[in-house]
Structure 1
Amino acid sequence: MTRQIQLALATFRPRGPIPGQTILDPSVTRTRVRPGDLDIYLHMNNAVYLNLMDSGRSNLIADCGGSKPLAERGWYPVVAASTVTYKRSLTLFQPVEVTSRVLGWDPRIVYLEQVVTSRGQLSARGLVAGRFLAKDGSRIPAPDVAALLGGHVTSPTLPDDVAAWARAVDVAHRD
């Protein structure tokens, strides 16, 4: 199964919700490095990390029971900005865990951290600024999505490094 198929399944045939899980709880996606994930240097290609993180975000939505309510409204997530810091290479058949968690939101953007580990060692850390759109292309306010996915109205305070990154990549809400 290619990574695109894995992402399609995570999005359109999501796993079941975890009872009691909210959007502020971490979500874990487990897999292994596959032959098609490798680059010419025989370690996982950097684009595969992004695809794994896409699947991790779909699983986070599924884990808190958000797949059906979002689909019923015609709302879907898109990435506004992302950055990944790579720490350790991953090689063929290594186990991989992607831990995705919502750090907070502003009126437009939901901020996530996605950590890729193998056997407890950090391989990469991604920061993602995501927004939600409706099928007509209109933007859905992040607090509306947070309320739908977990009843949360007030965002946790963003970590300083994430707030600084959001300003640097020009996605942070401006009053």
Structure 2
Amino acid sequence: MTRQISLALATYLPRKAVPGQTIVDPSITRTRVRPGDLDIYLHVNNAVYLNMMDTARSNLLADCGGMKTLNAKGWYPVVAASTVKYKRSLVLWDPVVVTTRVLGWDPRIAYLEQTITVRGELSARGIVAGRFLGKGGVRVPAPDVVELLGGPGTSPELPDDVMTWARAVDVAHR
């Protein structure tokens, strides 16, 4: 439950924008493993990783000053697909760093990479295909969101593994 509160705060009371930060710059979210994050095996439940990543994506938007701009338009992010590879368990009180970066976009989807590290060691890597919706569920093209947030006019080339995954889960632009 406390992770849901963290997400709500990151979304509705976002942290201050980082001067000079753009939507394509990496965003850092720091947290710590709490007792409520643990499952019966005393390591972080897989759903908690996803919740940490949700909060970190809200922080990415806040860091570039995008939350107010998006809210004014009535646009909001949703996850179209995601995948996570877990490499190392997180345990109680571990200091967690979630690094979120936009890898690129196509006409529909923005692709992000999120890594979770503890003391510089990779614990998990997630790939997220995100969309934006507007009032009434209207789909907002990813390039429109990037432009609104001051990003570059063209997408960086997406890594091969991300494009292969996007096609496999049927989110890639056709």
Deviations 1:56-92 (CA, angstroms, capped at 9, x unpaired): 0000000011000000000000000000000000100
Q: Give the 3-state SS of the residue equivalent to 2:161 in structure 1.
A: helix
Choose 53-62 or 147-156, whichever is displaced more: 147-156
Q: Distance in 1 between matches of 2:148 and 2:79?
A: 19
Q: Distance in 1 between matches of 2:151 and 2:124?
A: 30
Give me the TM-score of the superposition, normalised by structure 1.
0.98
The answer (yes or no) to whether the contact 2:24–2:151 under 8 Å persists in 1 is no
Residue 150 of structure 2: aligned partner = 150
Aligned residue pairs, count: 174
Residue 59 of structure 1: aligned partner = 59
**Residue identity opposite 1:24 in structure 2:** V
Q: Distance in 2 between matches of 1:22 and 1:4?
A: 26
Q: Give me the CA root mean square deviation.
A: 0.8
Q: Distance in 1 between matches of 2:171 and 2:132?
A: 14
Q: CA deviation at 1:55?
A: 0.2
**Residue identity opposite 1:73 in structure 2:** K
Unaligned segments of structure 2, at least 5 residues: none
Q: Give the 3-state SS of the residue equivalent to 1:136 in structure 2.
A: helix
Deviations 1:142-169 (CA, angstroms, capped at 9, x unpaired): 0000001124221000011101110011
Deviations 1:118-157 (CA, angstroms, capped at 9, x unpaired): 0000000000000000021100000000001124221000
Alignment of 1:89-128 (within 5 A): 89-128=89-128
Q: Give the 3-state SS of the residue equivalent to 2:137 in structure 1.
A: coil
Quick one: percent identity of the two aligned structures?
A: 76
Q: Give the 3-state SS of the residue equivalent to 2:136 in structure 1.
A: coil
**Residue identity opposite 1:94 in structure 2:** D
Residue 68 of structure 2: aligned partner = 68
Q: Distance in 2 between matches of 1:152 and 1:145?
A: 11
Residue 28 of structure 1: aligned partner = 28
The answer (yes or no) to whether the contact 2:23–2:151 under 8 Å persists in 1 is no
Residue 49 of structure 1: aligned partner = 49
**Residue identity opposite 2:72 in structure 1:** E
Unaligned segments of structure 1, at least 5 residues: none
Runs of 4+ in 1 over 6 A off after TM superposition: none
Q: Distance in 2 between matches of 1:136 and 1:168?
A: 29
Deviations 1:25-58 (CA, angstroms, capped at 9, x unpaired): 0000000000000000000000000000000000
Q: Give the 3-state SS of the residue equivalent to 2:145 in structure 1.
A: helix
The answer (yes or no) to whether the contact 2:16–2:65 under 8 Å persists in 1 is yes
Q: Distance in 1 between matches of 2:12 and 2:135?
A: 16
**Residue identity opposite 1:48 in structure 2:** V
